[in-house]
Amino acid sequence: MKNQKSVKAFEVSQQFFPGGVNSPVRAFRAVGGTPPFISRAKGSKLWDIDGNEYIDYIGAWGPAILGHAHPDVTNVIRHAAESGTSYGVPTEMETMLAKLVAEAFPSMEMMRFVNSGTEATMSALRVARGFTKRSKIIKFEGCYHGHADGLLVKAGSGAATFGEPTSAGVSKETAAETIVCSYNHLEEVEAVLAKVGKEVAAIIVEPVAGNMGCVPPAPGFLEGLRKLTKDHGSLLIFDEVMTGFRVSHGGAQQLYGIAPDLTCLGKIIGGGLPVGAYGGRREIMQLVSPLGPVYQAGTNSGNPLSMAAGIETLTHLKHPGVYESLETRTKQLTDGIHAILHDAKIPHTLNRLGSMWTVFFTDHPVTDFASASTADVDRFKRFFQAMFANGILLPPSPFESAFVSLAHSDEEVNATIEAAKKWAQSE
């Protein structure tokens, strides 16, 4: 596979961007080699500037659920751009998209559009603190909620401890407001709330973890969080930036039948364009300015291009059979890969929920960050590079979820399985 142009482009980009990229995982440091510089995308495929073609399972990290450059979505974006790219004043499209979101997520009685998932989670936590008049939050190790200071934390010296910064530039004082527990370990949350429950404003969780790889919730875990937050007067925040409109039309909260107090959504509601949303119970969201004292603003929030793309995308996702098709296609893919690895006696755990999936090269069940960390990262590198050489683009990290789109065909799924077979035979 030729990559001379991408190598040169990467050399030039490193003069301007830290690591040559505008988001760290793109640098391919977890898997080695040079990242491909993409020139275009269509359906389930990407093409780089060297002319290489890839079957894409990154999917813009989830939002490309219809596939890339869906003609109906690109048409409405083009039309919206001809009318202006940003106004800074309201449009009816904002209300149209909000109605589609609220229809799928009834818990979001009132919402606010923002420009990213990070803005959504940061704002939701501010509202939670304003509503409860408390300062501390609980998050879970391995769950990523954007790069706001108070969320870039890891567990301290023991389980369920006050957080320590995972990034330079985050003060210990800021990190100390965040308590980190282990995902799927309800007893740790119970212990924390027994000690400092009156200080905890909210628990924020990826209801299906996607940022340590795909890790579904254990039976009773989300239900337990819902009960504990009600018992202790805290709010429950579902970060559905990754799972919203992905694991079901109404996200994980529809799938598991749990209504959180606040929900955060990401770029899927804008067809992959920069957008996010946070929302929840009306009494909580009425604290947001200009109705209440919790300030949050954004010049580009409700951008007409993102709104138009979002309306078109969410309208398509209402069509009958959409999620059944995603489920069937993803199961076909993961069952095929699992069978090959099993027959080759390669230790692995393959987690899947809906159209999210991750293969971990470990013989342990993966239920939290500690068990995900037992995976053989060197074997994943070999797997990634072999698939990449065969035109299959997986997330360039052993701890990220992969995604299947409606554009993936049986032929492309079979080609992916065949590439995995070739690697397993050589391994």
Q: What is the pLDDT of residue 155?
A: 53
Q: What is the pLDDT of residue 160?
A: 42
pLDDT at 162 > cutoff 60: no
pLDDT at 156 > cutoff 60: no
Helix (H) or strand (E) holding 55: strand 53-56
Mean pLDDT of 412-424: 98
Measured between alpha carbons, how far is 9 from 50 in angstroms, rounded to an integer?
A: 11
- Exposure class string for 405-415: b at 16+ Cβ within 10 A, else e: bbbbeeebbee
Q: What is the pLDDT of residue 173?
A: 81
CATH number, span 4-65+321-426 = 3.90.1150.10
pLDDT at 267 > cutoff 60: yes
Q: What is the pLDDT of residue 1?
A: 82
Distances (CA, A) of 410 to 57, 85, 326, 328: 14, 38, 12, 10
Measured between alpha carbons, how far is 153 from 211 in angstroms, rounded to an integer?
A: 14
Q: What is the pLDDT of residue 333?
A: 98
Measured between alpha carbons, how far is 22 from 193 in angstroms, rounded to an integer?
A: 38
Residue 139 in contact with residue 204, Cβ under 8 Å?
A: yes
> Which residue is listed with tokens 């109605």?
99
Q: Which residues lie below 8 Å from residue 322, measured CB to CB, with a gap of 6+? A: 249, 316, 406
Range 35-42 contact pairs with CB under 8 angstroms and sequence separation of 24 or more: 35/6, 35/10, 35/396, 36/3, 36/6, 36/393, 37/5, 37/6, 37/9, 37/10, 40/69, 41/68, 41/69, 42/67, 42/68, 42/69
Pick one of 3.40.50.1980, 3.40.640.10, 3.40.50.80, 3.40.50.360 as the CATH number of 71-316: 3.40.640.10
Catalytic residue, chosen from 56, 239, 261, 368, is 239
pLDDT at 30 > cutoff 50: yes
Q: What is the pLDDT of residue 383?
A: 98
Listed residue (121, 90, 133, 127) closest to 283, CA to CA: 127
Listed residue (383, 316, 328, 320) closest to 355, CA to CA: 328
Determine whether 176 is exposed, middle or buried from the number of CB atoms within 10 Å of its CB (0-12, 13-18, 19+).
middle
Q: Is 183 a catalytic residue?
A: no
pLDDT at 158 > cutoff 60: no
Catalytic residue, chosen from 54, 144, 183, 256, is 144
Structure tokens at 253: 């909260």
Q: Is 239 a catalytic residue?
A: yes
Q: What is the pLDDT of residue 165?
A: 75
Residue 221 in contact with residue 184, Cβ under 8 Å?
A: yes
Listed residue (104, 18, 55) closest to 311, CA to CA: 104
Helices 221-232 and 186-196: crossing angle in degrees, nearest 10, is 10
Q: Which amino acid is at 261?
A: D
pLDDT at 159 > cutoff 80: no
Percent of the chain with pLDDT over 70: 98
Q: Is 261 a catalytic residue?
A: no
Q: What is the pLDDT of residue 163?
A: 60
Read off the pLDDT of residues 45-56 as tens digits, 9 standing for 90 and up: 999 999 999 999
* Residues forming beta bridges with residue 406, ordered by sequence position: none
**For the chain, what are the domain ranges?**
4-65+321-426, 71-316
Mean pLDDT rounded to a whole number for the chain? 95
Catalytic residue, chosen from 139, 267, 323, 368, is 267
Read off the pLDDT of residues 286-333 as tens digits, 9 standing for 90 and up: 999 999 999 999 999 999 999 999 999 999 999 999 999 999 999 999
Read off the pLDDT of residues 172-195 as tens digits, 9 standing for 90 and up: 888 889 999 999 999 999 999 999
Phi and psi at residue 369, in whole multiples of 5°?
-70, -35
Q: What is the pLDDT of residue 324?
A: 97
CA dihedral 2, 8, 13, 16 (to 10 degrees): 170
Q: What is the pLDDT of residue 142?
A: 92
Read off the pLDDT of residues 99-132 as tens digits, 9 standing for 90 and up: 999 999 999 999 999 999 999 999 999 999 999 9
Measured between alpha carbons, how far is 382 from 386 in angstroms, rounded to an integer?
A: 6
Read off the pLDDT of residues 1-15 as tens digits, 9 standing for 90 and up: 899 999 999 999 999
Q: What is the pLDDT of residue 150?
A: 83
Structure tokens at 67: 């596939």
